[in-house]
Amino acid sequence: MSTVEFSQEFNGLENILFSFAMKLTKNREDAKDLMQETAMRAYRHRDKFTMGTNFKSWCSTIMRNTFINQYRKAKLRRNVNEPIESFLFAVENKNVIPNQGEMNIRMKEYKEIFGEIGEIYSIPFLMFYQGYEYKEIASYLEIPIGTVKSRIFLARKKMKALINERYNRPQQ
């Protein structure tokens, strides 16, 4: 489909597509944005349109999918962008005295478990836990990335088995 043909077809459907955009967004400005995004995507992929098929349906499908993708991104963004400080009131209790005893006992047990699984697995696991990327761990330990991933996976597996064994839990 040529640029001229595309423009003629799309301009002929502009009112119908705008109505559809309004139905989806329920907001005039958002509908205009959706129309623009739809036009860009349809134009960019006009070579994929099969002549003889329904152009209106093709554009409507692009619009619907664009709207759904934008909705999902906005929903995820709302969850991710919410600052943690806004949730602190829920877990904050000023009447409790901090006690690190339980955490110290747990860390002591974890250190014993790390000793049982061996340094070959515990070092890559701890580095990954501390925030290092696979590439950084591989470079530091001078081993391939695949080996790093494998050792971290096996460390988790071994630790899970040892923790379940200590607390007599059936393995999941």
pLDDT digits (tens, 9 = 90+) for 49-107: 888 888 888 889 989 998 888 888 777 666 555 555 555 555 555 565 667 777 778 77
**Any idea where the domains of the chain sit in the sequence?**
3-84, 101-166
- What pLDDT digit, counting tens, does each position of 115-167 carry? 888 889 888 988 888 888 999 999 999 999 999 999 999 998 988 888 888 77
- The DSSP symbol for 51 reads T
User: What confidence category does residue 5 fall into, taking pLDDT thresholds of 50, 70 and 90?
Assistant: confident
Domains 3-84 and 101-166 share a fold: no
pTM of the model: 0.44
**For domain 3-84, which CATH number applies: 3.10.20.30, 1.10.1740.10, 3.40.190.80, 3.40.50.360?**
1.10.1740.10
* Cα torsion through 40, 62, 44, 4, rounded to 10: -80
Q: Please report, for residues 4, 125, 144, the alpha-carbon distance to residue 141 in angstroms, rounded to integers and kept in the order given.
A: 59, 12, 9
